[in-house]
Structure 1
């Protein structure tokens, strides 16, 4: 049976939606499951209009009520009732995949909600059977000698034995000592363990680098956190009254009110597996000219890849450098982070892990244009441990002072924020935290200077690493 793909997910590069607790994913899943329960009830009652009413603005813009009703009547309802259903996965704290059992066929439904908990993704697909977890333990450099070795093994092993995971690198800074662990493979079947220098996509951890750049230029007197963004945008864009109260700080701490993703990104994506690749400055400015805000700037936390992209664009304009050049000059070179960059050199490409999607299939590493500051960097565990240590013990030089500024609390209502950093609680202990993800990778970074503890996790799978990271913090912070 041919299924019409009548709506699909607009891309995101983050797992974080509410930083007051790392268990926000469970809350979002509860909301998504609740909407799914309504979908299933209305589906079995053949109530197309009721399902359509669950849709958000993007959903309804992409598909009229009449078109949806026609698809439901001609393709969906003839399958008869949903006789059984189960959640297969919940990826990026946004996309739920449900297995649906009908009388004559088994399908899967991908569902995601917008910020108003309305349907934003609603896609029926042929059911993809995920294979059972690996029966043979994957290889590891963990010698399981020390107490910490054994704690890491206990937390990481269930993640690595999943069918969809491939490779993992972990770095732990505890009491001044750095220890690294590697599991699995850099590419499925190659029997090559990652090393602490293997390069991974780090996704939205990139945003913390972008905010260090902001803090650096603030300290240089080139910008102010309170500057309105219209001061640095072309006149044709700056005249949009919605942007007048958006500041550089609000871009960095996700209180700008800008949408998570510009609504002209999806329409201009030439590669569904590499959605940010061709989104350029012209498209960005075209969107900003007429965009509306979701909330009053400075009033509400609302995670925005778009906002961080705008911030990086402004900083590039001020510095006269590309995003990658700024990262290299301000952060990577001074810290000797040789494997951290937007683009992996030809010489280092063999050291980059392949990446695998939510079903465990190989996918593309992402490329970025103007939105690079929201998620384009690649790095290694060794480099991110250097970065974590530089955050825990900021130096007295220009870079150290910029890093220290990013830790200042700038928002503390529905989320507690520094500049890009989320301050989360893990068993009552506060950590500066960010994570990241693309269609084929997942990352985690958290640190607490007083506890002298930092954890970095890099995976070449879309399977979320947040639970692994927080469980390690719980065990190691004692």
Structure 2
């Protein structure tokens, strides 16, 4: 690649221009330009945040590109590859939402059903008045980000829900919550008559064509499982907890994660109920500021500025309650939309974003929980170059 072309690519990347990328790259970006853009965005962040390893996967007009950086484990020095397994934290919620939407498409579940109608143990509790959809969109009435420590186990979670008292009227406020989305997935599995893990591993993942995605990594795959590192750079991996599979339990590779993004952008190759399920997860149910809440996924009008995308993925959006404006009726996926989700565990950080109308998408997987603004900036700069 000529130096001038590289400079132009990096300039586009650095400034994250969306509307003006045509002035930067007249033709479709070459493989070298994509690689240069990814490297320029990723390398300084890895150095600043002391990230051991990162896998970045990009899809452009149906073509997959994989870029691997650093070590899957500092202890062994094993390099990251596109097959390295990473914890994806809350991106797992989009898989859970897809399973629930598949249950609805298969006639097993209605999102308007009250939670206690599906789970009799919740009868006589606040969940007599809370719908499956409200759980799936964090609007049950103030369920917290995490389970309290004394309720964070499978045998204690039902008791927690039975005694929980809402802060807000159901449907009025969004408060991002693992227990909320987790119960949503649990109820979906109840409606399908099988355990959640079994439905994910034997039904959903195979139907999506994902053969290296796990809730519990099998012994035969453990050599591919990256070592995560916490803020003190000590080795950690995610531990068990109440509704962990539903809320943050997926481990996957860049190859499978990009295949999942492709399935979301072009679901026409999937069977009809799965196409319907994906459409349901991309449906807009309400808005908070410039973010539209889907099921699992979050949606934005496209093109979008970096500042808008950072605001939608901010700490404030994740940690504080926001009054919602419901869309009546719910809106199908718009023509020009960016769809995204972040995910974190104690030792891993992930991000996925894609623009179906442009046929572009990016997956970022790292074995450290590094700041979400850094993830968004990497993705925005790369997608800006791809959106010529």
- With structure 2 as the length reference, what TM-score do the two structures score? 0.78
Q: In structure 1, what is the equivalent of residue 380 of structure 2? A: 470
| Structure-1-length-normalised TM-score | 0.64
Deviates more, 1:403-412 or 1:311-320: 311-320
The verdict on how the C-alpha distance between 1:286 and 1:165 changes in structure 2, with shifts beyond 3 A counting, is same
Distance between the aligned counterparts of 2:384 and 2:165, measured in 1? 41
Q: 1:262 to 1:184 in 2, by over 3 A?
A: closer
Q: Which residue of 2 aligns with 1:305?
A: 178
Q: Distance in 2 between matches of 1:471 and 1:298?
A: 35
Q: CA deviation at 1:214?
A: 0.9
* Counterpart residue number, 1:80: none
Residue in 1 that maps onto 2:67: 181
Change (3 A) 1:360 1:206: same
Distance (whole Å) between structure 1 residues aligned to residue 123 and residue 185 of structure 2: 17
Match of 1:243 in 2: 127
| Residue 319 (structure 1) aligns with | 192
Q: How many residues align?
A: 322
Evaluate the alpha carbon distance shift between residue 158 and residue 262 of structure 1 in structure 2; reply closer, same or farther with a 3 A threshold: closer
Residue number in structure 2 paired with 1:381: 254
**Structure with the bigger percentage of helix:** 2
Aligned match for 1:147, one of 33, 48, 68: 33
Structure 2: runs of 5+ lacking an equivalent: 1-29, 309-335
C-alpha contact (below 8 Å) 1:330/1:399 kept by paired residues: no
Q: 1:360 to 1:475 in 2, by over 3 A?
A: farther
Confirm or deny: 8 A CA contact 1:254 1:420 kept in the other structure: no
* 2:112 is the alignment partner of 1:226: yes
Find the aligned partners of 2:203 and 2:278 in 1 and give their Cα distance: 11
Q: Distance in 2 between matches of 1:295 and 1:256?
A: 8
Shift of 1:470: 2.8
- The CA distance in 1 between the partners of 2:380 and 2:123, in whole Å, is 42
1:296-327 CA-partner distances (Å, limit 9, x unpaired): 22222211110111112212222232222111
Unpaired runs of at least 5, structure 1 = 1-143, 269-275
Shift of 1:170: 0.7
Where does residue 354 of structure 1 map in the other structure?
A: 227
Name the CA shift for 1:145/1:216 in 2 (closer, same or farther; >3 Å).
closer
SS in 2 for 1:336: coil
Asked which structure has the greater CA Rg, the reply is 1
Specify the alignment match of 1:458 in structure 2: 365
Q: Is the 8 A contact 2:142 2:173 kept in 1?
A: no
For 1:295 and 1:339, locate their aligned partners in 2 and report how far apart those are by CA, in whole Å.
40
Higher relative contact order (CA 8 A, sep 6+): 2
Give SS of 1:435's match. Answer: strand
Cα RMSD after superposing both structures:
2.0
SS of aligned partner of 1:411: strand
Report SS of the residue matched to 2:174.
coil
Partner Cα separation in structure 1 for residue 299 and residue 232 of structure 2 = 31
Shift of 1:367: 2.9
